[in-house]
Amino acid sequence: MDLPLNYNQPLIMHIDLNSCFAIIEQQANPLIRHKPVAVAAYDSPGGAVIASSYEAKALGIKLGVNVREARLLSKDVIVIMPDPEKYFDAHRRFKKVLLNYTDEVTPKSVDEFIVDFRGSRAVQRGKSLADIGLDIKQDIKQALGEYVTVNVGIGTNRFLAKLAAGLHKPDGLDIITGENLREVYEKLELIDLPGINTRYRARLNVAGIYTPLQFLDAPLGALRKQVFKSIVGLHWYLRLRGHEIDNIDFGRKSFGQQYALGQKTSDIQELSRLLMKLCEKTGRRLRGSSFVGGGIHLWLNFENRMYWAQGYKLKKDVYSTQDIFLAAQRLLNTAAIPARVTNIGVTVFNLHPANPEQLGLFDDSRLDTRSLARAADMVNDRYGEFTIVPAIMANMQDVILKRVAFGGTGDN
C-alpha cells in the first residue's frame, strides 16, 4: 500500500482558546492583564498550577509547577483559584459563535473545538476558510471579550488541523495542505506532533525514525509490524498524510472524581466523608448524562509515594449517590493504608443508558433510590449544588470544590 498525500481542499478547523483559564481571568479583571497570572488548584504552597498566562509562562511558570515554586520564579505572580462556572460560561459562548457557521461542531475540551466545514453554507458561498477563521476570531472577541485570543488551525483532517493550531501561539492562524505538509514537518520534532508522547517517540527512535519527515516516509509495513505492532501503525500512516482517521466517537467509558487532600489524613472516618462527596459529584454527572454504572474503582495515593487501587464489577447497577458510596466504601474498608493519604479518587465504569430500566421490587416506594436521587438532583439543580446532602457530608461546603476536568466541557 502506497497512499499519496491528501491534496483535497482543507475543510477541518481546530480552534482553541489561548491559555484558557488564565486569559478568561484576565478578561474578567483588567487590573491583571499583561501580568503573570497562575491559576492553581489551591493557593496553598503545594497547590499545582493548572494554567498560566503567557506572561507567567515566559518566566517559567508552567503546568505542574506548584505555588511555592511559582513565587520563587516571580514575586509578582498573581495566583488565582479556579472559577469553573466562569470557564464553562466561556465554553458555551465559544460554542454558540461556532454554531453560527456550521452544525458540525465537536467540543474536545472546555477550551477547544473541532469544526467540520464540509457542507457549510459559509464555504459554499465561496469564502475561504482562512477568511472564515479571521471572522471567527472577531466574533469570539465580541462574545467573550476583547482580551481573549484563539488559535485557528486548518487541515484536511483533525490531526493536521490541531497541528496547525499549535504552530504560532498565541493568536495564530495556519493552514496545512498536501502542498506544504512536508515543509511543515521539516521544521518540527517528533514530540511536536499531537499524540506523540515520549513513549511513542522512543518506539520510533528504536526503529530509526527521528524526525516527522522520516515518520512520514516510513513504509506502512514497518509502522504496523515493527513500530506499533498493531493497527495503530495504519492509523498513523493515514493520519500523517492528511487522511481522516480520528472522527470516531467511541462514547464515554466512565465517570469519576478525584481530590488532592489539603490536610493529609489516614483517618478512615474522614476519608469516608471525602469519599461520599466524591461519590455525590460522580453520581450527579452520571445521572445528568442518563447513565447507570456496572462497576466501581477506588484509588489512593500516600505521602510515602505508595499507591493503592482496587475495582470490581457490580452484581447490580448503581445510579444513586447512596449506591455508589456503598460500593466504594466496601473498597475503602479493604484498603491497606501505610501512611497519610494525599489523593483519593473514585470512578464508575461499565456504563449503559439509564433508560429503559428494569423495574424492581421497591420501585415507586420509599426505598426507590433512583426516584430519591432524581428528586434530590432536581432540588440541587434549582437551588444550588449540595443544597440537599447526606448527613455524612454536613459542613463540607468548602471541601472538594468544583473543578474543570481535563478534557471536560461542562456539557454533562
* pLDDT > 90 fraction of the chain, expressed in percent and rounded: 58
pLDDT at 359: 39
pLDDT at 8: 92
Phi and psi of 220, rounded to 5°? -55, -45
- What's the rounded mean pLDDT across residues 312-332? 92
pLDDT at 388: 46
Q: Is the pTM of this model over 0.85?
A: no
Q: How confident is the model at residue 70 (pLDDT cuts 50, 70, 90)?
A: very high
- What's the rounded mean pLDDT across residues 321-349? 93
Burial class of 189 by CB neighbour count within 10 A (0 to 12, 13 to 18, 19+): exposed
Q: Considering only 9-18, 201-210, 361-370, 382-391, which range has the smallest mean pLDDT?
A: 361-370
Q: Which residues contact 44 (CB under 8 A, 6 or more apart)?
A: 67, 262
Spatial distance between the Cα atoms of 256 and 224, rounded to a whole number of angstroms: 34
Nearest to 32 by CA among 56, 49, 50: 56
Q: What's the whole-number average pLDDT of the chain?
A: 85
Q: Considering only 48-52, 205-209, 346-350, which range has the smallest mean pLDDT?
A: 48-52
- What's the rounded mean pLDDT across residues 335-358? 85
Q: Which residues sit opposite 333 in a β-bridge?
A: none
From the CB of residue 387, how many other CB atoms can be counted at a distance below 10 Å? 11
Sheet bearing 49-52, strands edge to edge: 49-52, 37-40, 78-80
Chain centroid to CA 388: 28
pLDDT at 295: 95
49: pLDDT strictly greater than 80: yes
Distances (CA, A) of 143 to 20, 90, 99, 373: 15, 9, 13, 36
Greater pLDDT, 163 or 408: 163
Q: Considering only 9-18, 135-144, 235-244, 283-292, which range has the smallest mean pLDDT?
A: 283-292
From the CB of residue 22, how many other CB atoms can be counted at a distance below 10 Å? 26
- Is residue 215 within 8 A of residue 190, CB to CB? The reply is yes
Spatial distance between the Cα atoms of 314 and 292, rounded to a whole number of angstroms: 11
pLDDT at 24: 95
Spatial distance between the Cα atoms of 410 and 108, rounded to a whole number of angstroms: 11
- What's the rounded mean pLDDT across residues 356-363? 43
Spatial distance between the Cα atoms of 100 and 365, rounded to a whole number of angstroms: 47
| Ordered domains of the chain (ranges, CATH) | 1-179 (3.30.70.270), 191-245 (1.10.150), 254-393 (3.30.1490.100)
pLDDT tens-place string over residues 225-272:
999 999 999 999 999 999 999 887 666 788 999 888 878 899 999 999
